[in-house]
Amino acid sequence: MKVAVVGATGMVGEVMLKVLEERNFPFTELMLVASEKSIGKTIGFKGKDYKVIGLEEAVSKKPDIALFSAGGGTSLDWAPKFAEVGTTVIDNSSAWRMDQTKKLVVPEINAAQLTKDDKIIANPNCSTIQMVMVLAPLHKKYKIKRIVVSTYQSITGTGLKAVKQLENELAGVKGEMAYHYPIHKNAIPHCDVFEENGYTKEEMKLVRETQKILNDKTIAVTATAVRIPTSGGHSEAVNIEFENDFDVNEIRQILSNTEGVIVQDNLDVNVYPMPIYANGKDDVFVGRIRRDGSQPNSLNLWIVSDNLRKGAATNTIQIAEYLIANKLV
């Protein structure tokens, strides 16, 4: 089992290596791949030093699986080249998510769709993953009509440049800006670029990807995505309107029995999800579960997850684990 990590020097790449180690992922050969400026650098993994190689060399070595987290442009250019030599690519960028010929996978929800013929598999957006992990079992039971979601997203979702911006601002140092405005003591309602409809790409990912993963284009979704100066995970306030009525205790029971979801919802002792506690964990946390009294068959939830783990690296690796367990690679 030859495994390549493409984008190994980036934030998600570093977390991928951590998750591969924690989960004792099976491989006989590991290739750490990055852009030309990183070729030759050394990265330690499980007590061994690995030299970073370039994309061409990685393709020539024909890995069985390539875990991509190197940006959409790199994925569009290189994922097909890996696929041509028989590699199964699991891609973290937005490049392939809405391609009708590619599967968009959250293993707990729709990994069963995968076959040996799927050589490029898309990993959903971080904010989508945590939301659909909670929505999927509820959709199955009550059928979702409409979702209104507001996100409160960590700076880590933007990358190292944003982390450095906040560090500089905290230290009172002028430096390179990842955002148009200061992020310290601020909330910026602008994640990714604006589309012609006035929504950002991040907001439209929540619309399009949710419908694709849940395989239901009738679900109406509207989103507002906000960047806030936190690390550790993204948070989401989600309002759901169902076709059928529900019992709130039954909702809690369904979610408590959902793999990968942890209910934190005890108001008597102020227990609810927060990014400070989701940090470094692979689960999706849900709380503040309550009926929306202003609208029939409607529910409010608060969902938090580590965007670099379940929102990116862990989900990618779980897809790879599923492929290996089911002999699809």
Cβ(48)–Cβ(26) under 8 Å?
Answer: no
Q: What is the mean pLDDT of residues 139-158?
A: 97
- Determine the pLDDT at residue 84: 98
- Rounded to two decimals, the pTM is 0.96
Compute the radius of gyration of the chain from its Cα atoms.
20
Domain range summary for the chain, segments of one domain joined by +: 2-123+312-325, 127-307
Q: What is the pLDDT of residues 172-221, one digit of tens each?
A: 999 999 999 999 999 999 999 999 999 999 999 999 999 999 999 999 99
Instruction: Identify whether 234 is a catalytic site residue.
Output: yes
- Determine the pLDDT at residue 320: 98
Rounded CA-CA distance 33/9 in Å is 8
- Determine the pLDDT at residue 209: 98
- Determine the pLDDT at residue 138: 98
Q: What is the mean pLDDT of residues 223-228?
A: 98
- Determine the pLDDT at residue 157: 95
- Determine the pLDDT at residue 25: 96
Residue 324 confidence class, pLDDT cut points 50, 70, 90: very high
Residue 249 confidence class, pLDDT cut points 50, 70, 90: very high
- Determine the pLDDT at residue 215: 97
CATH topology for 127-307? Answer: Dihydrodipicolinate Reductase; domain 2 (3.30.360)
**The 65-68 sheet, strands edge to edge:** 29-33, 2-6, 65-68, 88-91, 120-122
**The one catalytic residue among 126, 139, 190, 191:** 126
Q: Which residues pair with 19 in a beta bridge?
A: none
CATH topology for 2-123+312-325? Answer: Rossmann fold (3.40.50)
Residue 147 confidence class, pLDDT cut points 50, 70, 90: very high
**The one catalytic residue among 139, 180, 184, 234:** 234
Rounded CA-CA distance 161/280 in Å is 20
- Determine the pLDDT at residue 68: 97
Residue 89 confidence class, pLDDT cut points 50, 70, 90: very high
Q: What is the mean pLDDT of the chain?
A: 97
CA atoms within 13 A on the CB side of 60: 5
Q: CB 300: neighbour CB atoms within 10 A?
A: 16
- The token pair at 164 is 């450095």
- Determine the pLDDT at residue 270: 98
